[in-house]
Structure formats: structure tokens, C-alpha cells
Amino acid sequence: MERSLTQLQQDFIDFLVECGVLVFGDFTTKSGRRTPYFVNTGNIRTGGQLERFASFYARTITEQIGGSFDIIFGPAYKGIPLATAVATSLARDHGIDRAICFDRKESKDHGEGGSLVGQKPRSGDRVLIVEDVTTAGTSIRETVPKLRGAAEIELVGLVVSVDRRERGRGDRSALEELSEEFSMPTFSVVTVEDIIAHLHRRTIGGEVIIDDAIRSRMEAYLIEYGPRK
């Protein structure tokens, strides 16, 4: 599998392995699919790891869309610290100081109330969504109506860490479906194909991360559940 990866992408994949975010074995996704690998950003446990994780997003964002947005939105729950850290990285390292917003799983009926926290969207605001991983797109479909219910916003993009390249509801990938459904571009720092290409027979910490057997399982999974268009 010949692919040309940027240094950013190579460093990001190595980081995911070193932090235990990218793991291999036998797992079940929310959709019930048995998968030979899993991306668990809940394994990012220190401030330094979160800072570095967010820096990869920030660099990807500046490369893809620059600073053409007003609000960074993170879907609850993992998107909350992610949006905060990405906003910090953008302001500190790239001079792009933007507002942040996130949602609650349940609306609050006291205090300030509502389901959105932080900078409440206003009509005309350009909103960028950051999420850890999108498999089926469920959280995006739950939160976009909240954002659009608050104001007439423009969705300028969705950025995720890894595009698993899995089918959504139809024959296309989940990210492609979300892009068309909500009229917004979607980006990932890396794809699963990038991961296979970079880690196959590669040693990190004295261990081969993706051997021939794991590669075969991952490619078989993509054949079964990957996009058909």
C-alpha cells in the first residue's frame, strides 16, 4: 500500500500508538461491528498528551481552512476538552483566537439554562466542529440541530483525528455522508489507510505494531465495511 504521508501525519500516528490511543485486538463498535483496531482518545490522560493531541488538530485546521471560522464547537463529552485544547493551541501557536462552545447531553433548567455552554452561536457565525472519531456520525446528527436551533449559523467544517473509512447509512463513508447532509467539508488528520501504510512492519518501542496478520484483518474489515462508492 503505497501512500505519501506528511511528517505531521507520521508523527500523529506514532503519537497515537505511544499514548495507547490506537490499539489492536478484537473490539466492537457502537454500530455492533467487530473491528481489529480501536481509537480510544479516552486514553489521553495528561496535560502534555492533550496539548500535543490538540496541536495536530490545530495544524491540520490551519492547513485546510486557515482561520475562517468564529466558533470551535466540541460535542459532549470527549469533544469538550478537545475543543478547549484546540482553541488554546490555535491562539498560542497560530495567532487564531476563537470562541469555544460545547453542548450538554441534557438541557439545564436552572442558572443560565439551555443545552449549549460557552459562546452561544449568533446568526451569521461560522462554526467549526472538532470531534475525536466519527464512525456512524451519530453525535454530529444529534448536535447540529442544537446549533442550528440556536441561530442561523454556517457550518464551515468537521475535523476528526482518524477517518475509519467506514460506510455510514448508505454506500459512502460516514464522513462523506455528513459532508453532504450538512453541506460542510470534513477533514481528518489521518485515515485508516494512512495508519496501515505507516505502521505495517514498523517497530515502535521494540514492537512491530502492524504485522502481516493484523494488516490482513484491517484490510478485510475495510472490504466488508468500507465505502462502496
By annotation, the residues acting in catalysis are 108, 110
Q: How far apart are CA 172 and CA 165, in angstroms?
A: 9
Measured at the CA of 90, the angle between CA 100 and CA 187, to 5 degrees, comes to 80
DSSP-derived letter for residue 76 is: T
Cα dist. 42→11, 50, 105, 107, 139 in Å? 19, 10, 18, 24, 16
What is the distance between the alpha carbons of residues 29 and 161, in angstroms, rounded to a whole number?
17
d(CA 147, CA 152): 8
Cα torsion angle, 16, 20, 21, 23, sign: positive
Calpha distance 180→41 (Å, rounded): 26
Do residues 167 and 228 make contact, with C-beta atoms less than 8 angstroms apart?
yes
Compute the distance between CA of residue 175 and CA of residue 56 in angstroms, rounded to an integer: 19
Distance in angstroms (rounded) separating the CA atoms of residues 182 and 176: 10
What CA–CA distance (Å, rounded) separates 57 from 120? 23
